[in-house]
A and B are shown apart, each in its own frame.
With several copies, the nearest count.
Chain A
């Protein structure tokens, strides 16, 4: 049955997450201005926050499902800050998602507890996997993979215990040659080159890696399939796509948590200044500020609903590849427009670093870029609705 209301458990959870996020928000500016530092795994406030599932009853049939709640919680957390958490969950890296999607049972058991980053992008290739230059060569003598190459934009790359790395067994094979490997930081030849200096999410840990004759045991190939399939994509590539299927709505939710924070701050400021933001009247019953603000709120709502739809589908075991891309494309664009618009309404105060809104404006900008840019998402959407293959729509 179509329903867009929260059960009181849903509501309690979201309220709890907000209070926790609010506590974390106090530290947001510090770690933005001091980007070389890392926020601690536990803030002093952690003691006051036992964690949401410690305080909540088990979900019942009247409560929203886990994937939908996952998106709402994700947005609730970035509403506090993108990077700083009262208590940082371990094993929350994108690499863990990849491991979950394509590792063997044994590999999952062994490496699951670690914090794993995901290393895909290279200086020379944006979103085109066929350009991956990082190579993995099997050394029959030692039964090891020898990895060479460079990776950039590795999220949580500095703090991670290791990374799931895309490397090709045979450049001539294009996508088909690409496999995912687990490489621990301890592996010889694994060099963390530097932490990237960014527009936003500065507290976040985004690293550049270099692999120089980096050696790992043969069983570190995720899934274990060494052969290169004739034609079509390799397991490695498909698996990562699987991962993206889970992460696209999540990244949109991250961004929308911050744009929601911008909207809440803007409403607060405008209402305090006496601007009437009440709904009901048509355009001729409104001030310019109310009109602009309400359009931004509708956009936020629209984008968040596409995220929840993508989550709800996978929660119900329905295919959601199209909807995952829709939510990512919609969210990525919406957060840009919303944070830009809020600052426009606040004027000079909006661009002062005495408030966090200028930071949210910077932080959300990554949303439409990582995990597949808005352009890539539109390619996926267009190919799906036009029933086109990669060759027909480039």
Chain B
């Protein structure tokens, strides 16, 4: 049944997050970006929202609520409306934990998930992106070779979000023994950050999302027990894992675009030129209308992908559409946002130039979040 209606509970969560974004993320965003550091205490603060634990099974100490990509789409949009860099940091534990919950065996869930139901902040991370100008998430150079009851991982990863502090890395690799390529060849392995052969590289310096810690990573013949192959014999549903990340990026990009629009409207009404508010010029007004049209369209595409995931349907197509569409539109909207502010859009007194950098950065890192 086609329905655009969030449940009462979802409305509640959305309002909580909207407030949290407005009061915690937005005020701290600029300083965090300039300092290239997360605000002190931010991770603990966001941990208290219980975003991760709530949707983890009661069996591992979680809230036992159903995994809801739909709810998470609302959550990520609101967080990114505050700030996309801080949103990604806050969402990092979920990215890892939900992947374990979706694809892990009961044993793996029991072993790995309890930490994410505790009162203390904990995070793992997903290492998928590789250093190539033609990076494609389905064509990985990081390989996993079976060796007895172990797997040996070798390769390089980039932009591993929170990799500087994550205790566990979920490394996406190509299974050397896979007959075909594409999704079927993808496997995921839980690698302790301390494992021999793992080198955490230096902090990535990015165009945008500067507050977000991300590192490069080298895997040199890293041996992991077969038990750490996510999903065991069965392996993972790589289509779902990728769809979850893409839809998540889409939700973040939607929140970012909405932030631009909602900042631009009062600015354009307040700013005067040639005898009237610039919002009274059709060129500006229609531009704002365009932003409004597109943020709606962006959200519905994300929701559709989320709904498919919630129904355990293959969402490869829907999630790809959600990401490619939101990426293109968020870029345009943040770009137009700078233009609406003119010279003031180019200086760092206003957040718009930061959102412009965030949009471009976020939209090419399509496998760093999950919902």
Bind each other:
yes
Residues of chain A touching chain B, judged by Cβ–Cβ distance below 8 Å, are 1-7, 10, 61-65, 68, 121, 125-128, 130-131, 152-153, 196-200, 269-270, 272-275, 279-285, 289, 294-295, 297-299, 301-303, 305-306, 308-309, 312-313, 316, 323, 326, 329-330, 336, 340, 343-354, 358, 361-362, 365-366, 368-370, 373-375, 378-379, 381-382, 385-386, 388, 392-394
Report yes or no: B239 in contact with A280, Cβ–Cβ below 8 A: yes
Per the bound structure, the CA–CA distance linking A64 and B3 in Å amounts to 8
Report yes or no: B343 in contact with A301, Cβ–Cβ below 8 A: no
Report yes or no: B304 in contact with A350, Cβ–Cβ below 8 A: no
Report yes or no: B338 in contact with A301, Cβ–Cβ below 8 A: no
The reply on B178 being an interface residue by CB < 8 A is no
10 closest A-B pairs (Cβ-Cβ)? Answer: A305-B300, A199-B353, A353-B205, A358-B207, A269-B133, A382-B285, A302-B297, A298-B321, A4-B307, A381-B289
17 contacts between A and B (CB under 8 A): A2-B70, A4-B2, A5-B313, A64-B2, A64-B3, A199-B345, A199-B347, A200-B346, A280-B182, A282-B136, A295-B328, A330-B296, A348-B364, A352-B205, A353-B205, A366-B346, A381-B292
Per the bound structure, the CA–CA distance linking A44 and B324 in Å amounts to 45
Q: B4-12, B100-108, B167-175, B224-232: which one contacts chain A?
A: B4-12
Nearest opposing residue in chain A for B338, CB measure:
A365
- The total of chain B residues at the interface (CB under 8 A) is 96
CB < 8 Å: which of B2, B136, B183, B286 contacts A284? B136
Per the bound structure, the CA–CA distance linking A152 and B349 in Å amounts to 13
Scoring B residues 342 to 371 as 1 if CB is less than 8 Å from chain A, else 0, what string do you get?
A: 110111110001001100110111100000
Report yes or no: A369 in contact with B208, Cβ–Cβ below 8 A: no
Chain B nearest CB: distance from A153 CB in Å?
5
The reply on B94 being an interface residue by CB < 8 A is no
Per the bound structure, the CA–CA distance linking A282 and B135 in Å amounts to 8
Whether A329 touches B289, Cβ cut-off 8 Å, given contacts A2-B303, A295-B324, is: yes
CB < 8 Å: which of A126, A305, A349 contacts B131? A349
Report yes or no: B208 in contact with A285, Cβ–Cβ below 8 A: no
Report yes or no: B271 in contact with A352, Cβ–Cβ below 8 A: no
Report yes or no: A348 in contact with B158, Cβ–Cβ below 8 A: yes
Chain A nearest CB: distance from B365 CB in Å?
6
The reply on B37 being an interface residue by CB < 8 A is no
Most buried by A among B134, B298, B318, B335: B134
Nearest opposing residue in chain B for A366, CB measure:
B346
- 8 Å CB interface, B261-297 against A: 265, 268-269, 271-276, 278-286, 288-290, 292-293, 296-297
CB < 8 Å: which of A7, A199, A282 contacts B1? A7
Report yes or no: A340 in contact with B360, Cβ–Cβ below 8 A: yes
Q: Chain B residues near A62: list those with CB within 8 A.
A: 1
- 8 Å CB interface, B153-203 against A: 158-159, 182-183
Q: Chain A residues near B129: list those with CB within 8 A.
A: 348
Nearest opposing residue in chain B for A7, CB measure:
B1
Q: Chain B residues near A374: list those with CB within 8 A.
A: 339
Report yes or no: A279 in contact with B293, Cβ–Cβ below 8 A: no
Whether A351 touches B297, Cβ cut-off 8 Å, given contacts A284-B134, A378-B289, is: no
Per the bound structure, the CA–CA distance linking A279 and B280 in Å amounts to 43
The reply on B301 being an interface residue by CB < 8 A is yes
Most buried by B among A323, A378, A379: A378
Report yes or no: A365 in contact with B346, Cβ–Cβ below 8 A: yes
Most buried by A among B293, B331, B339, B365: B293
